[in-house]
Structure 1
Amino acid sequence: MNDLISSLRFIAVVDWLELEINTRKPTQGFHLHRLGRGAFSHAHGIDLQTGKKYPEHLKNTTTTRFLVRIQSPERFAMVNDALDRMGGQFDQSAGSWLRAIEVAFDAYGNENTNDEQLAEATALFMKGVNRVSEVPPRIYRLKNETRIIGSQRELVQALLDGFQIGIGNCDADRYQHAYLKTSDNKLPLPQNHHRARIEVRLQGSACPLLSLDDLATFNFAKMTKYFRFRSQNDDLDGLQRLLTMRQVCLGNVLDANNELTRIWRKGGGSRKNKRHAHASPLNEIARVRLRTLTGRWRSSCGRGQAPKIGGHRLTKSGLSCGPRMADNEPDLNLPPSSEKPGQH
């Protein structure tokens, strides 16, 4: 396992975020989408009476409150740039709030890495992560298409076949999601953009209620608890090793307060982690990468470049042309794989 981890490059990114915003005059979601010139992946109307989103088929109802989703912002400056595209319609004085966010932890390979190794890394994420739900992980591909997994080998094959792993109910306030990412918007990615990915989505009561000012300086290291992993002990005998390998997850479950739930011992007492497992070296890597994300998030665009959202550069006239290669390009300034966890 350590050999696999040391061969990969890791990065933490914001996959998307949703903001509740207000407009100066009543309008419709598709008008905001058009004003954004590609900056918003969607704009969904909110009922002023209930404060809730309109049903999907009524999302373009005329209103002055909306949920807008910004896809793959690398920095907070890109959030401001997206909102500026609304011009005079954006009512900044009414306040804007973060309502949902999805953060991803990605593992990229090198020129010698194949998809099977990335699938093994994805399986490693899922098996070791502390889960946000007691609901057993779902292995799914299409709607109502699931697969029962009896071993780690079968899980790796399922990931190579396009299956994904969901932890928790898909509409819950906290949701984890792991998969082998080989395409984006149904378009194949180049091999060097393939990656193992685990995401956490926070919404509702689980989402930190942040104003735009708070969001600008948010410390993503606060999300480390969602990217903590356990690894199987190396000194297990044959039977213990087999039983541990057959466990779906080595991580524990996070309660509503994001504390590890207690595991009660048969002979009395309790513990917070499962037997025959220890803290994974991924924990320190994730902590450092989330801290790096914080620095990148708070920085300006740099190098005189226009902000980039969803894999495209934003220009005054809208998104630049060219194929979308990935939600977030690999960080070319990542240290080589020989860097030890904790070095920065």
Structure 2
Amino acid sequence: MTIEAIELSFDLYGGDSSAVVIKLHKAMQYPQTARLFRVYKTKGTQRDIPKSMKELYDLLQSGYNIGVGDHRFDEFCVRLYFKRTDKGGQPLPQKQHRARIEITLKKSIFDHEVVDRNIANLSQLIKFGFKKMQFTKLSKRATFKEKDVYYTQVKPFGKGSTCAMSVNRHKRFLLNSIATNGTLNEAKRLAVKALSHKF
């Protein structure tokens, strides 16, 4: 039996969950091909992600989700939201409220990198899948203007860029104002390692 797609989620507890969702979106290292960045709640409510943090915060508080990609066609999709209900729609206790980021990976992602999709290889599929969920942060090299934009606007700052160049004139995946978030990525790696041992 082989896996056609896998959905992986990463939850962060504590703090203001809607604010954390915004930070996760800004920090997520989206691939260059990521598209259809939007917010939505129910059918007919889809719209572009506002650049205003206050406007996006209010939408998340009222139950909107951030979505990236189309599950019908894209091999990499993301959903971020403030989780406060269980699968049945029942309210969760306050202490179980959290920010959640979910990624859905189609089989083509695993096939490109020759990862065995057999169900017996589930622990390795989980580890591989979570490697596609990487986070970034504002770089120490960021200019005053870049810092101002980062702290006052909502954008997918971690999205891959085909034209980014390092200060040494080498091609790089991220903009010069953005760096890999080693601390958050390591915390995620350790959590995934513990999870994979259960399979």
Q: Could you say which TM-score interval applies, normalised by the shorter chain?
A: 0.7 to 0.9
Q: Where does structure 1 differ by over 6 angstroms across 4 or more consecutive aligned residues?
A: none
In the alignment, what sits opposite 1:202?
A: 105
- The reply on whether 1:175 has 2:77 as its aligned counterpart is yes
The 8 Å contact of residues 17 and 98 in structure 2, kept in 1 or not, is answered as: yes
**Cα distance, 1:209 vs. partner?**
4.6
Work out whether residues 82 and 98 of structure 2, in 8 Å CA contact, stay in contact via their aligned partners in 1. Answer: yes
1:241 maps to 2:147: yes
Q: Name the SS of the counterpart of 1:124 in structure 2.
A: helix
Report the 3-state secondary structure (helix = DSSP H, G, I; strand = E; otherwise coil) of the residue aligned with 1:97: coil
Q: Distance in 1 between matches of 2:172 and 2:119?
A: 40
1:272 matched residue in structure 2: 173
Matched, 1:126 2:28: no
Structure (1 or 2) with the greater helix fraction: 2
Match of 1:98 in 2: 3
Q: Verify the 8 A CA contact 1:179 1:197 in the aligned structure 2.
A: yes
Aligned to 2:131: 225
**Which structure ranks higher in relative contact order (CA pairs < 8 Å, sequence separation ≥ 6)?**
2
Supply the distance in 2 between the matched residues of 1:130 and 1:147 (Cα, whole angstroms).
22
Does the 8 A contact of 2:36 with 2:70 survive in 1? no
CA change 1:274–1:136 in 2 (3 A) is: farther
Tell me the distance in 2 between the aligned counterparts of 1:127 and 1:226: 16
- The Cα offsets for residues 21-79 of structure 1, whole Å up to 9 and x where unpaired, read as xxxxxxxxxxxxxxxxxxxxxxxxxxxxxxxxxxxxxxxxxxxxxxxxxxxxxxxxxxx
Residues 271 and 212 from structure 1, CA distance in 2 versus in 1: closer, same or farther, beyond 3 angstroms? closer
**CA, structure 1 residues 210+271, in 2 after alignment: closer, same or farther (shift >3 Å)?**
closer
* Structure with a larger share of its residues in strand: 1
Q: How far apart are residue 206 of structure 1 and its match?
A: 2.5
Where does residue 159 of structure 2 map in the other structure?
252
- Give the equivalent residue in structure 1 for 2:55: 154
Give the superposition deviation at 1:178: 0.7
Q: Deviation digits for residues 176-222 of structure 1, max 9, x if unmatched?
A: 1111111122221111211110011112422555223223x436332
CA distance in 1, matches of 2:95, 2:192: 22
Gaps of 5+ in 1: 1-95, 254-260, 298-344
Q: 1:27-66 alignment to 2 at 5 Å?
A: none
Q: Distance in 2 between matches of 1:158 and 1:218?
A: 36
Q: CA RMSD, aligned part only? A: 2.5
Q: Tell me what 2:195 maps to.
A: 293
1:212 equivalenced with 2:119 (yes/no): yes
Q: Which amino acid aligns with 1:124?
A: K
Offset of 1:236 from its aligned partner?
5.0
* Conserved? CA contact 2:13–2:97, under 8 Å: yes
* Structure with greater Cα Rg: 1
Match of 1:138 in 2: 38
Q: 1:240 to 1:97 in 2, by over 3 A?
A: closer
Which amino acid is the alignment partner of residue 138 of structure 2? Answer: Q
- Assess if the C-alpha contact under 8 Å between 1:99 and 1:209 holds in 2: no
CA contact (8 A) 1:131 1:167 kept: no
Question: How high is the TM-score relative to the length of structure 2?
Answer: 0.81
Instruction: Please state whether the residue corresponding to 1:272 is helix, strand or coil.
Output: coil
TM-score normalized with structure 1 length = 0.49
